[in-house]
Amino acid sequence: QVQLVESGGDLVKPGGSLRVSCKVSGFSVSDYYIHWIRQAPGKGLEWVSYVSSGPAYTNYADSVKGRFTISRDDAKNSVELLMNSLRVEDTAVYYCARRLATERLDLWGQGTLVTVSA
Amino acid sequence: SYVLTQPPSVSVAPGQTARISCGGNNIGSNSVHWYHHKPGQAPVLVVFDDSDRPSGIPERFSGSNSGNTATLTISRVEVGDEADFYCQVWDSHTDQQVFGGGTKLTVL
């Protein structure tokens, strides 16, 4: 079955760190770009980061650059997002999604909730 | 950075046609993709490349894109279509995905 499943969401204090994962089934994570997108409570979708197919190039939104690191584990067929120096405004449901040609995101996971609060 | 502007809400009666706009500078030169998103569920791609539909998406969903506005059209709206709808493009200058602010479709 072709799917993405996020995990690792939790409650963390401001300034803390958290790693969320995206487990891929039904295709090889190394063959596709995988993106992270988040939705803060009451807000819209916000793109966060991607890791490319092949050489695993990465890119980040300005709001998380320098704090978040995306990585790919081909052996585990998964993608991870390491989040450091977390802020209250990072509170959101984090989704991973697969990118196809013309930059469309054809397959999404159900999301994992990250809450940053004292 | 590139900005996409959507109306916060659109309301329509069942059986009528809903049109959701997505404004952006010369958006007609981009490929626009549309997603619907229901609370607690994964977003779903409903239109890609301005006007194509993924398999499994009803023909009632269609799209167009020209000039500074892209439009998602939902014909014969059903109560089950109620959701938030987002447009999305790729910004080639920053190599980043850009989403519109989202439009809440209410079926009266």
Q: Tens digits of per-residue pLDDT, A49-103?
A: 999 999 989 999 999 999 999 999 999 999 999 999 999 999 999 999 999 988 9
B28: region left, alpha or beta (phi > 0 left; psi from -120 to 50 alpha): alpha
- Residues 6+ positions from B62 with CB-CB distance below 8 Å: B47, B51, B53, B72, B73, B75
Neighbour-count burial for A82-110, b at 16+ CB within 10 Å, e otherwise: ebeebeeebbbbbbbbbbeeebbbbbbbe
Mean pLDDT of A105-117: 97
CB burial class (10 A; 0-12, 13-18, 19+) of residue B92?
A: exposed
φ, ψ of residue B73 to 5 degrees: the values are -115, 130
Mean pLDDT of A15-41: 97
Q: What tokens appear for A62 in the block?
A: 């300005």
Residue A110 in this model has a pLDDT that exceeds 90: yes
First to last CA, chain B: 36
> Is B31 in Cβ contact with A103 (below 8 Å)?
yes
Residue B39 in this model has a pLDDT that exceeds 90: no
Out of A61, A103, A108, whose CB is closest to B43?
Answer: A108
| Interface contact A21, partner B, CB < 8 A | no
Question: B45-100, pLDDT tens digit by residue?
Answer: 999 999 999 999 999 999 999 999 999 999 999 999 999 999 999 999 999 999 99
Q: Across chain A, what does the average pLDDT equal?
A: 97
pLDDT band of residue B12 (cuts 50, 70, 90) is very high
d(C-alpha B74, C-alpha A12), whole Å: 41
What is the pLDDT, as a whole number, of residue A101?
Answer: 85
d(C-alpha B88, C-alpha A105), whole Å: 9
What is the pLDDT, as a whole number, of residue B25?
Answer: 96
d(C-alpha B92, C-alpha B72), whole Å: 23
What is the pLDDT, as a whole number, of residue B47?
Answer: 98
Out of A35, A44, A111, whose CB is closest to B101?
Answer: A44
What is the pLDDT, as a whole number, of residue A49?
Answer: 98
pLDDT band of residue A22 (cuts 50, 70, 90) is very high
Q: What tokens appear for B94 in the block?
A: 């920053």
| Interface contact B48, partner A, CB < 8 A | yes
What is the pLDDT, as a whole number, of residue A38?
Answer: 98
DSSP B28-77: GGS--EEEEE-TTS--EEEEBTTTB--TTS-TTEEEEEETTEEEEEE-S-
Report which of B72, B93, B91, B92 is spatially closest to residue B83, judged by C-alpha positions: B72
